[in-house]
Structure 1
Amino acid sequence: MIHPSLLRKQRMILILLIVLIIITIIIGMGIGGTSLSYDRLLPALLGNGTFKEEFVLFSIRLPQIIITLLGGMALALSGSILQTVTRNDLADPGIIGINSGAGVAIAIFFLFFPTEGGSFVYALPLVAFLGAFITAIFIYLFSYNRRTGIQPVKLVLTGVGFSMALSGIMVVLISSAEREKVDFIAKWLAGNIWGTDWPFIIALLPWLIILIPFVLYKANRLNILGLNEPVAIGLGISIEKERIVVLLAAVALAASAVSVTGGIAFVGLIAPHIAKALVGSRNQLFIPVAILIGGWFLLVADTIGRNLIEPNGIPAGIIVALIGAPYFMYLLLRK
């Protein structure tokens, strides 16, 4: 049973995070290459703005803000699952190679298959999931020991190795590609939020609508999977079955996110850590907090990045990496 005071603390933190997200969204809607006066935001949102105001808001700013928020949420939830299941505080879909697997699949699809028509948008998350799923299988097999289960340190090392190998494959793939397609993949690798249109939101949203409630439903099982294997077996759950199911959810969340946000790492590392520090390590408590932190963190990074340097700004993935890489090193040295 969770103490009522802890539940109240969680609710207060969730409300605070929602307020921070709303404030960041308002700031993000007003600033950019074409700034919008903040006193004109509400009329434009209600359809009473000029053509230019409504075009900038509904065709450029809002889609990017929403896709960034959703992508950050998905990455944070994926990282939360991975850290719990592997019992490894360093687990993150970007660090252990899952994002790279999704990236290679997207690169192959983009370079060698027809990319015309609206079906391309909706196929991207599926293609990314396939690449990430195959990568995750190999990482799991190489880091699993039949007697002791998943080896946390081995998992990170294996994932980093796969990530480097897949990056090499990506270089080979783009070495003979057309300049336009190479530019796209280079932006994807840098973590540039490129899926900035409403169809991309429609393509990503169903994954979160299905998987967020599913993972929260599995929160008790995740608590058990976070224990050592003999204890988990003693509590009467099928470890391998439950582990595979939730890992598939983590892979799907990461793949769907990076298919439209680019190769962004560290969101899934940092958000769960902050959430656990705030409300503890029980999944029912920290997962909702981590989801909102992840969305807000990526939203802040993208808002800062796209307004730092004119005209194109700095990719959100680079801003996140500037914060996340030192934190990863800190965790690595401490653990």
Structure 2
Amino acid sequence: MSDAARPGSGAPAGPVLAPEPPGTPLRRLGTAGVFVLTLAAVVLMAAAHVTQGTSSIGAFDLLALPFGGDEEAARVLLASRLPRLLAGVAVGVALGVAGSLLQSVARNPMASPDTLAVSSGAHVAVATAAAFGLALPLPVSGGLALVGGLAAAGLVMALSAGGRAGTTRLILAGSATALALQSLTNLVMILFEEETTGLFAWGSGSLVQSDFGAVAQFGPLIAAVTVVAVLAGPRVDILGLGDDTAAVLGVNVRRLRGWLVLMAVLLAAAAVTIAGPIGFVGLCAPVIVRLLPRTIPGLHRNRALLPLSGLAGALIVLGSDILLRAALGGQAGVEVPPGVVTTILGAGVMIWLARRYRDAGPTRRPPAVRTGGTRSRGAFLAVVTVCAVLLVAAVVAGLLGGDRWLLTGDVLNWLQGRSGRALTFVLDQRWPRVLAAVLAGAALAVAGAAVQAVCRNPLAEPGVLGVTAGAGVGAIALLAAAPLAGVWMMSATAGAGALVTFAAVYALSWRGGLHSDRLVLIGIAMQAACTSVTVLIIVKADPWNTALALTWLSGSTYGRVPAQLVPVVLALLVTVPLLAWLRRDLDLLALDEDTPRVLGVPLEPVRLAALAGAVVLTSTAVSAVGVVGFVGLVAPHAARALVGSRHARMLPVAALLGALLVSLADTLGRTVIAPAQVPAGLVTALIGTPYFVYLLWRARAQADAS
């Protein structure tokens, strides 16, 4: 392995390519030649970009403008196409340079404004301002985006030890933080639907510009920060040699790293303010540049790497916009965000990186939660009894709470068939919701326990494998195509989406065996791709009516009917006995790779059976209540802390805790701001994020101590 790919060697780990023989055309071309070719590609891409649009004005009309062409063509060019083009170039350059800086700081090829949740932090700040009707000037919006991005990046970098403690922990920390921030953004858009109309598509990046105002104000800032970053390139090169070496050579490591992160976040915040969060450009652009041969003198030093990454970012953004409008028509440039295309492209790059690199970070083993050793049978039964009593209390509270509070006597009368018409109507609407929350919570918790055992990663959950997002793609596609589709069709479509996604993740993760870190990284990439496909379906179906889809994607029990619960019940009846039968194998599987083989456990069949069970449970839960996050992470961890890590005891306690968590989240969502409602998935995300942060911080403290 070369120094470029060796952990802790300094430079961000990049693809290991065979050196190009001396005298080849690219070597003779040199760094200046590469710059010239890249600039030429940007110019050609820009020329193609301005010929596209919703009007019939084409290339010949634009070429005739210097010779007194049509005034309408000049108006369209200045009012629409040039602002869009310049926005694409500015955003691409900003994200490319930001991604390169973050990868250098973290010495990690998967660091980017997206994986460090910078874009999500900036987005939630801008969306919150819009929700409260604040018509802020662009510089103030940019300042808000900067604050949000800095806060998110600081949290992720702190939790992942600056990204140097392992790729898996960096990506998990970033994805969890981004999920929490996206949940907060979705909550704002649901509660302030009128004020945030159109922000859903903008949340995936939109290049639609009404004038040159945004580019004129932030373009000089992007250029200035880029120049400063390029001038600091030699010191960044020294930083890449390692903290100790850099300190010996006179570099103040902490100060330099802080300034580099600030510049990267400033660039990402400017990009978000101009066009919204366009995903994964900051990941793809530096990786593409690093693929260029290392035999070209000076090409991989930061003075060349940073501006080339910016140009590559511009190529990615413009190319994605061209591809989108060429495939779906000019109107798609208005309705469909180009961030959908860049995110799918970035997911492909992330999968490619995950297949090439093996992470041995601290997340390979669970952080040492207090399992209490081997609990006695009496203690286990006591925990189960307490959890069951709490669950019953939560169910009762769910039946009583809502926009209209009831009494326990009302529920007893309803159970005996002696309640009035109005009371009967209310409870007939509530009990399927309460039961849906209980069943979905139990299913997601059991699925999370299975995923954590197979991945040997306590920070994993079904959503990390892309299963939840895949089920969401299937369900949203059906909602868009046939809004009145039946329950079984919804369950089948969600299940098909989950199974297809899982099959793809499993196949891509297999490389001479199933590696747990690779499985997690590829699953997160697939999750991002499926989320972008979901956005594409929603904005194409009805870009101005996203409240229903947003509510469903945030996990809601609203409008549940008894028939929708049947698939979840069947999945639990089939899968829970299967996992209980495999309980001893799962105990061994959670230890390491070698112990199960030595003891004769058929490793791959057990993994496949456990993951298939998790997929079935997750897909049916998604079809019943939508996308609910963090339950599969929090419930197994809490169960492990209460009764130990043996699956014979942990699985039933996890199921009870998962049911309790979703039930309480649903009740809180229905009562806190009644008659308005907060989807249960948003409540679980906001509850689960602090616990996830605690786990990551504990894991870092243990890694530092060791």
Question: How does the TM-score come out when normalised to structure 2?
Answer: 0.45
> Superposition pairs for residues 123-142 of structure 1, below 5 Å?
123-142=489-508
Q: Do residues 48 (structure 1) and 412 (structure 2) align?
A: no
1:158 to 514, 522, 547: 522
Return the alpha-carbon distance in structure 1 between the equivalents of residues 643 and 679 of structure 2.
31
1:237 deviates by 2.2
1:15 to 372, 375, 385: 385
1:178 deviates by 3.5
Q: Do residues 220 (structure 1) and 590 (structure 2) align?
A: no
Tell me the alpha carbon deviations over residues 277-334 of structure 1, each in whole angstroms, 9 at most, x when there is no partner: 0111010011110000000011011111111112231111111111112222332343
1:37 deviates by 2.4
Q: Do residues 38 (structure 1) and 382 (structure 2) align?
A: no
Return the alpha-carbon distance in structure 1 between the equivalents of residues 605 and 393 of structure 2.
42
| The 10-residue stretch of structure 1 (278-287 or 208-217) with the greater mean CA deviation from structure 2 | 208-217
Return the alpha-carbon distance in structure 2 between the equivalents of residues 238 and 84 of structure 1.
15
> Superposition pairs for residues 72-221 of structure 1, below 5 Å?
72-112=441-481, 114-116=482-484, 120-146=486-512, 149-152=514-517, 154-178=518-542, 182-194=546-558, 196-221=560-585
1:234 deviates by 1.2
Unmatched segments (≥5 aa) in structure 2:
1-372, 700-706
1:4 deviates by 9.2
Q: Secondary structure at the match of 2:666?
A: helix
Is residue 375–residue 644 contact of structure 2 (8 Å, CA) maintained in 1? Answer: no
Q: Which amino acid aligns with 1:258?
A: V
1:6 to 367, 376, 393: 376
Is residue 111–residue 181 contact of structure 1 (8 Å, CA) maintained in 2? Answer: no
Q: Which amino acid aligns with 2:501?
A: T
Residue of structure 1 equivalent to 2:680: 316
Is residue 375–residue 643 contact of structure 2 (8 Å, CA) maintained in 1? Answer: no
Q: Secondary structure at the match of 2:627?
A: coil
Return the alpha-carbon distance in structure 2 between the equivalents of residues 187 and 314 of structure 1.
8
Return the alpha-carbon distance in structure 2 between the equivalents of residues 184 and 324 of structure 1.
24
2:397 to 15, 21, 27: 27
Q: Which amino acid aligns with 2:516?
A: Q
Residue of structure 2 equivalent to 1:233: 597
Return the alpha-carbon distance in structure 1 between the equivalents of residues 374 and 598 of structure 2.
29
Q: Are residues 16 and 217 of structure 1, via their aligned partners in 2, closer, same or farther at CA, if it must alter by over 3 Å?
A: same
Residue of structure 1 equivalent to 2:137: none
Is residue 568–residue 617 contact of structure 2 (8 Å, CA) maintained in 1? Answer: no
Q: Which amino acid aligns with 1:88?
A: N
Is residue 125–residue 204 contact of structure 1 (8 Å, CA) maintained in 2? Answer: no
| The 10-residue stretch of structure 1 (312-321 or 187-196) with the greater mean CA deviation from structure 2 | 187-196
Is residue 78–residue 249 contact of structure 1 (8 Å, CA) maintained in 2? Answer: yes
Return the alpha-carbon distance in structure 2 between the equivalents of residues 193 and 311 of structure 1.
15
Is residue 76–residue 294 contact of structure 1 (8 Å, CA) maintained in 2? Answer: yes
Question: How does the TM-score come out when normalised to structure 1?
Answer: 0.92
Return the alpha-carbon distance in structure 1 between the equivalents of residues 669 and 378 of structure 2.
35
**Count of residue correspondences:** 327
Is residue 190–residue 263 contact of structure 1 (8 Å, CA) maintained in 2? Answer: yes
Return the alpha-carbon distance in structure 1 between the equivalents of residues 375 and 698 of structure 2.
30
- Paired-residue identity, %: 33
Q: Do residues 246 (structure 1) and 610 (structure 2) align?
A: yes
> Superposition pairs for residues 52-67 of structure 1, below 5 Å?
52-57=422-427, 59-67=428-436
Larger RCO (alpha carbons 8 Å, 6+ apart)? 1
Is residue 438–residue 659 contact of structure 2 (8 Å, CA) maintained in 1? Answer: yes
Q: Which amino acid aligns with 1:51?
A: R
Q: Do residues 303 (structure 1) and 673 (structure 2) align?
A: no
Is residue 195–residue 261 contact of structure 1 (8 Å, CA) maintained in 2? Answer: no
Query: Which of these two proteins has the greater Rg computed from alpha carbons?
Result: 2
1:95 deviates by 3.3
| The 10-residue stretch of structure 1 (292-301 or 316-325) with the greater mean CA deviation from structure 2 | 316-325
Is residue 466–residue 526 contact of structure 2 (8 Å, CA) maintained in 1? Answer: yes
Return the alpha-carbon distance in structure 2 between the equivalents of residues 133 and 226 of structure 1.
23
Q: Secondary structure at the match of 2:462?
A: coil
Is residue 454–residue 516 contact of structure 2 (8 Å, CA) maintained in 1? Answer: no
Q: Are residues 142 and 328 of structure 1, via their aligned partners in 2, closer, same or farther at CA, if it must alter by over 3 Å?
A: farther
Return the alpha-carbon distance in structure 2 between the equivalents of residues 181 and 13 of structure 1.
46
Unmatched segments (≥5 aa) in structure 1:
none
Q: Which amino acid aligns with 2:453?
A: T
Q: Which amino acid aligns with 2:533?
A: I
Is residue 90–residue 156 contact of structure 1 (8 Å, CA) maintained in 2? Answer: no
Residue of structure 1 equivalent to 2:191: none
